[in-house]
Homo-oligomer: A and B are copies of this chain.
Amino acid sequence: MPSKPAPPITMDAVYAAPGYLFRRMQQIAVSIFMEECKAFDLTPVQYAALVAIHTHPGIDATRLSAVIAFDRSTLGSVIERLQAKDYIERKPATEDKRIKLLYLTRQGAGILKDIIPAVERAQARMLEPLKPADRKTLMTLLVQLVDLNNEASRVPLRAEDALEHLGKAG
């Protein structure tokens, strides 16, 4: 019995692969974000970190990484850069000498407030080529897929972790 013939190797197979499309779309999304926000000198990651610190003042780096689902190693340099720009400050925790608590500075809170319209323009532009109904469908499916694949990523999203520093048990 002859074995199945191997399918031909084509670029079209690459172009249609989910992984390739996710990569391309992410690159396009970053490109649009940077274009709309170039006046603010903030990257998408730095923006997400600022929002999380704004929402959870006094969070530490490890929990921050869980809240935005970014790698903890990467986050170290992100925090350094935000600190160098005077958008955040780090204060050692009194009860636990390992932990450094993160807070927005006045400038950080200011730039966060100012950049929001540009961020919203960027997010809208990413989906603009689709019809409104299709935008909604795509976002709904993507939210589902990211959520159902949460554990597949090295840094699963743990939104509730952010509350632990307020004394709630894990």
Contact = CB atoms under 8 A, between A and B. Distances in A.
A101 interface: no
Interface in A1-53: 6-7, 9-11, 13-33, 44, 48, 51-52
A163 to B, nearest CB: 12
A26 B29 CA distance: 11
Contact of A55 (B11, B142, B146, B157): B11
Q: What secondary structure prevails in chain A residues at the interface with B? A: helix
Interface stretch (A78-86, A87-95, A147-155): A147-155
Nearest to A113: B6
Given A27-B154, A28-B149, A130-B148, 6 more contacts: A11-B55, A14-B48, A19-B29, A19-B123, A28-B153, A126-B145
B130 A31 contact: no
**Copies of this protein, total:** 2
Contacts of A6: 113, 116
A122 B29 contact: no
B19 A30 contact: yes
B146 A25 contact: yes
A23 B21 contact: no
Contacts of A155: 27
Interface in A146-170: 146, 148-149, 152-155, 157, 159, 162
B122 A19 contact: yes
30 contacts: A6-B113, A9-B51, A11-B55, A13-B51, A15-B159, A16-B143, A17-B123, A18-B126, A18-B139, A18-B142, A19-B29, A19-B123, A20-B44, A22-B22, A27-B69, A27-B153, A27-B155, A28-B146, A28-B153, A31-B153, A32-B149, A125-B152, A126-B145, A127-B145, A129-B148, A134-B141, A137-B137, A138-B138, A138-B141, A141-B141
